[in-house]
Structure 1
Amino acid sequence: MRKLIVETRDRVYPVFIGYGLFEGGILSELDLPFSSGALITNQKVGPLHAEKVSQAFLKRGFRLSSLALPDGEEFKTLASAEVAYHFLLQEGLDRKGFLVTLGGGVITDLGGFVASTFMRGIAYYQVPTSLLAQVDSSVGGKTGVNLEEGKNLVGTFYQPYGVIIELSFLKTLPEREYREGLAEVAKAAFLAGGEFLEVLRVQSEALLGRDYSVLEDVVERAVLFKKEVVEQDEKEKGLRSILNYGHTVAHGLERALGYGTLRHGEAVAIGMMVEAMIGLELGITRPQVIEIQKVILQELGLPLRVEVALSAEDFWAILKYDKKREAQHIKFSLLRDFGDPVFGVSVPEETFKKVFDSVRGAVLQ
């Protein structure tokens, strides 16, 4: 087992990474001075893992009532949050109660949002079951739900009380969902550069084969990188926005195509390619970044293209709903080089349209 401690102004909490954590009594490592608890999962993950997690809490004296929401990005909504609120009230949860979120990025984001707003904030523990959630969304305290206009437009910064990354849960992950998580691993490696990037380049085949010794190392590296960024900038006033690399375009793609058509990690992979080309056009990104990034993403089995029946002008209009917009300026996080990110780059509309039109055949179609 590996253990990291995230230290923010709002909360200090542990992140555990390993195998057989629930069988090994991991909950004895957590302080659970609460009255009662509930588990929020989805209808796909619940039948696979909810019983194991619930039994571990039962041994600590907590019987968890369980709510299984529909699976999919299209259900990360205020309507789903309201379903959860009513459930918690029916189960008698009070301000001293706690939530356990069991699932991928949709559940960790949605469950965290529910915890942050129910009774004006209750404790919650993240148990991410997808690779994407394990390396990214379960750590750092970003919560949120989607609106018709865009992703995560309603949300909070609310740190969990603990994160338990059980790597054996990845065994049940469908191949497409597993691979999308590799996009967030790649993003972290591109931002970190150095040894992390080299490990990714050398171990791409082992990662695709779900070699668990390699996975444990890579997940720890990704979480450690995010932890260090979050500790410096918990509420994304500056540095933390580097973690949005690839995401401005990705969120636009998800909305343009309809939530659930592209998986989030797939959109991020395409988004990183487009944003690298924007950086090149602006004279920020070195040409080698594009070529190396392309090779790594291809080796990880990630898509670099998708059909989008939108003009550059229409796609730019979608980006105006991105939460990183400031006044009329859309802010991007880009790479100068691997390990050398830059944030808060205001990309002119004409530059974006020029790149978008030039890459439609190579990347977007």
Structure 2
Amino acid sequence: MNQIHVDLEKNSYIIHIDKGILPKFAEIAKNHLTLSKTAIVTNDVVGKLYGNILKESLNSAGIETIVIEIPDGEEYKSFAGAMMIYDALIENRINRQSVIIAMGGGVIGDLAGFVSATYMRGIPFIQIPTSLLAQVDSSVGGKTAINHPKAKNMIGAFHQPKFVFIDVDVLKTLPERELKAGLAEVIKHGIIMDAELFGYMEDNSAKILNLDSQCLEQIVARSCRDKANIVEQDEKESNIRAILNYGHTIGHGIEAVTDYNVYRHGEAVSIGMAVAGKLAVNLGILDEDIVERQNHLLKKYGLPTDFPDLDIDRVIEAIHLDKKSKSNGKSRFVLLKDIGEAIIYENVTDDQIRNAIMEMKG
């Protein structure tokens, strides 16, 4: 069992990580906050697997609970998806003393978090991430959002959870493609700030891909600790937190151009990291052998590194629409200097982006 404290003064919270603990959720959560009435927000896939387990845990503790299921898919991380949840909250008289519980992957966490940030001008919420990507990244740090058709995560708020509850055993029902997509974010954390984690990923790939519980708990806890350290320094991404966007500038462009339904987020980020590595080499700030080591590890976990057959100009246009892009027609990129060391590089030109992409086309 691991407990990680995210120190954000009045917004501080605990990340509780263990295996086989979902049936004990209410017992554990009541040590951290008061629960009287809860609304579980999940999707129709996760709900069938774990909805009853969570609801029974809450009901057995005398906690009134409703379940709101939305269809699975990134396309529901939208105003329409949010409206479905708002309607159910109002119909069931959820109020400011109630707690929303987001149980699902990154889409559910972002969407339910956004709803909790805006419903009645903000009510508490808990994250129960069930995908690896959500466990190691999106459930920690308080970023909540929905997508706009032209850009990912464009409409949102910073709204910290009251508690993050992670049961690594739920990863055993995760489709293999989703598991690998989540591993991209673990590798990212190693690449940008934790060389020891990167080395652990290199040395334990077989165990991790075979869902060894001890290895999974190790990489989830290490990733959460790494991200918590950054969030504590920069809660609202005014400076150092931006390094967590490594691979995301290109990745979000790929997702936007393909309407969010071709690539998993982690797959797009993996390609984005490969392009960012080539860009750093071209700019003279990174050795080629480091990029080769990065890309070798991504491929080892079944992740893509070649840029797909997409219109490069459309991807660059999507990059300029991204909220992390600069307003002077140039772009801001997170780039590597070494394994475990990243920098924010200003004023990358479209031609430099285009050249790096062309070199990474399959």
Alignment of 1:209-248 (within 5 A): 209-248=210-249
CA contact (8 A) 1:4 1:14 kept: yes
Task: Name the structure 2 match of 1:355.
Answer: 356
- CA shift at 1:70, angstroms? 1.0
Report the 3-state secondary structure (helix = DSSP H, G, I; strand = E; otherwise coil) of the residue aligned with 1:183.
helix
Aligned residues: 359
Bigger mean CA offset, 330-339 vs 133-142: 330-339
| Aligned-partner Cα distance in 2 for 1:137–1:122 | 19
What residue in structure 2 maps to residue 94 of structure 1?
95
Q: How many Å apart are 1:83 and its aligned residue?
A: 1.2
CA offset at residue 279 of structure 1? Answer: 1.1
CA separation in 2, counterparts of 1:315 and 1:275? 14
Counterparts of 2:347 and 2:38, CA distance in 1 = 44
* Superposition map of 1:46-61 within 5 A: 46-61=47-62
- Say if 2:20 is the partner of 1:20: yes
Aligned ranges 1:312-327 → 2 under 5 Å:
312-327=312-327
Alignment-derived partner of residue 204 in structure 2: 203
Map 1:111-260; keep pairs closer than 5 Å.
111-260=112-261
Q: In the alignment, residue 84 of structure 2 is paired with which amino acid? A: V
1:74 aligned residue: 75
Q: Secondary structure at the match of 1:309?
A: coil
Answer yes or no: is the 8 Å Cα contact 1:40–1:99 preserved in 2: yes
- Kindly indicate whether the alpha-carbon contact (under 8 Å) linking 1:22 and 1:53 is maintained by their aligned counterparts in 2: yes
Amino acid in the other structure paired with 2:316: W
Following the alignment from structure 1 to structure 2, what is the Cα–Cα distance between the partners of residues 176 and 136? 17
Deviation at 1:271, TM superposition (A): 0.7
Corresponding residue of 1:31: 33
The 3-state SS of whatever aligns with 1:303 is coil
Deviates more, 1:224-233 or 1:282-291: 282-291
Q: Distance in 2 between matches of 1:126 and 1:340?
A: 29
Q: 1:134-165: per-residue Cα shift (whole Å, max 9, x none)?
A: 00000110000101111000011110000000
Preserved CA contact (<8 Å) 1:115 1:123: yes
Note if 1:4 corresponds to 2:15: no
| Aligned-residue identity in percent | 38
Amino acid at match of 1:210: L
Structure 2 length-normalised TM: 0.96
Instruction: Supply the distance in 2 between the matched residues of 1:338 and 1:241 (Cα, whole angstroms).
Output: 17
Moved over 6 A (4+): none
Instruction: Give 3-state SS (helix, strand or coil) of 2:33's partner.
Output: coil
Q: Give per-residue Cα distances to partners, 1:279-314, cap 9 Å, x unaligned.
A: 11111222222110111111111122353331x333
Separation in structure 2 between the aligned mates of residue 75 and residue 138 of structure 1, nearest angstrom:
18
The unaligned stretches of length 5 or more in structure 1 are none
Cα deviation code 1:237-290 (max 9, x no counterpart): 010000000001001111112212101111111110011111111112222221
Query: What TM-score, normalized by structure 1, do the two folds share?
Result: 0.95
Aligned-pair CA distance for 1:344:
4.6
Unaligned runs of 5+ in 2: none
Q: Distance in 1 between matches of 2:36 and 2:95?
A: 8
Structure 1 CA distance for aligned equivalents of residues 308 and 266 of structure 2: 16
Contact 1:27 1:60 in 2 (8 A): no
1:35 CA displacement: 4.3
